[in-house]
Amino acid sequence: MRTHQLRCLGPHGFHRVTYYEWGDAENPRVVVCAHGLTRNGRDFDILARALAPQFRVVCPDVAGRGLSQWLAHKQDYGYLVYLADMAAVVARTGADQVDWIGTSMGGLIGMMLAAQPETPIRRLLLNDVGPFIPRAALERLAQYVGKAPSFATLHELEQYLRIVMAPFGALTDEQWHHFATHSYCRNDDGSLSLSYDPEIAQAFAGPLQDVVLWPVWDAIRCPTLVVRGKESDLLLRETAEEMTRRGPKAQLVEFDGIGHAPALMAEDQVTIVREFLESP
């Protein structure tokens, strides 16, 4: 794995975006993996390692998360900045086309990029997200996003993640430890906090409403796979089924015993991803 940074331009100047790269740096077959709302690019370590023999895999930290810079103007946290940043990451790869794997927020970014004219997105994999997000799911996320808890030890932080990320499914102790190891920053007093800017929660300010993006979905033309946890409250079953009938008419794969969202760490999940990327 190699770690890189680039400077991206937002409404109030430049900010640094970090991304992690796996595989042959000269491989023209590029896959970009984009994480969820409070997560970071290291979530994809297991998947990226599995794909690296065939692909060059790029896993960015979206602004305000992981090792990417926190934005000075908190109102800039939003999809206009995220789309511009990820377009810069794609351009940095030098590839004319890339495949996109997006979990939750990362999937919404991928949808919006794929819907644009002359998009560089060749294939799109959406992990437990779609063009309709019910208000109830947003209200659940708002209960913990931006609360900025602190922890005395890494073990305490891991136990917290096991609770708030329980819908990810039955992960191994090693996988939970991986999440914890790459999910914290150390405070001046020696305590630990989660490695994202609590101000990203501004997106949840005010009354929450259903998110409706069907016009975006209907503009997508590339081959698309939707991965869904069968117990997901964010990507409803009826939404996923409608996604197979309109727009790019996606393939749909569901996993038992998982909510929002599949971690893409289990062997069967990794196999589904690989087969989709390698399909003609």
* Structure tokens, 99: 């495949």
Average pLDDT value for residue range 120-132: 98
* Structure tokens, 174: 């090693």
pLDDT digits (tens, 9 = 90+) for 21-49: 999 999 999 999 999 999 999 999 999 99
In a domain, 25, yes or no: yes
pLDDT, position 47: 98
Average pLDDT value for residue range 93-117: 98
In a domain, 226, yes or no: yes
Specify the DSSP element, H or E, that contains 251. Answer: strand 251-255
**Number of domains comprising the chain:** 1
pLDDT, position 146: 82
**70 secondary structure, DSSP code:** P
pLDDT, position 197: 97
In a domain, 249, yes or no: yes
Pairing of strands 192-194, 150-151: antiparallel
CATH number at residue 58: 3.40.50.1820
Domain holding 23, by residue range, is 2-137+212-278
Which residues, other chains included, contact 27 with Cβ-Cβ below 8 Å and sequence gap of 6+?
A: 55, 56
Rounded to 5°, angle at Cα 116 from 110 and 120: 65
In a domain, 183, yes or no: no
Q: Are 89 and 95 in contact (CB under 8 A)?
A: no
pLDDT, position 203: 76
pLDDT digits (tens, 9 = 90+) for 225-246: 999 999 999 999 999 999 999 9
In a domain, 196, yes or no: no
In a domain, 153, yes or no: no
In a domain, 195, yes or no: no
Q: How far is CA 42 from CA 6, 198, 225, 227, in A?
A: 17, 19, 22, 20
In a domain, 172, yes or no: no
CA pair distance 24, 39, nearest whole angstrom: 25
The pTM for the full model equals: 0.96
pLDDT, position 27: 97
pLDDT digits (tens, 9 = 90+) for 169-210: 999 999 999 999 999 999 999 999 999 999 999 877 778 999
**61 secondary structure, DSSP code:** P
pLDDT digits (tens, 9 = 90+) for 58-92: 999 999 999 999 999 999 999 999 999 999 999 99
Q: Are 189 and 152 in contact (CB under 8 A)?
A: no
pLDDT, position 179: 97
CA pair distance 151, 271, nearest whole angstrom: 36
CA pair distance 38, 31, nearest whole angstrom: 21
* R_g of the chain computed on alpha carbons: 18
Q: Are 119 and 95 in contact (CB under 8 A)?
A: no
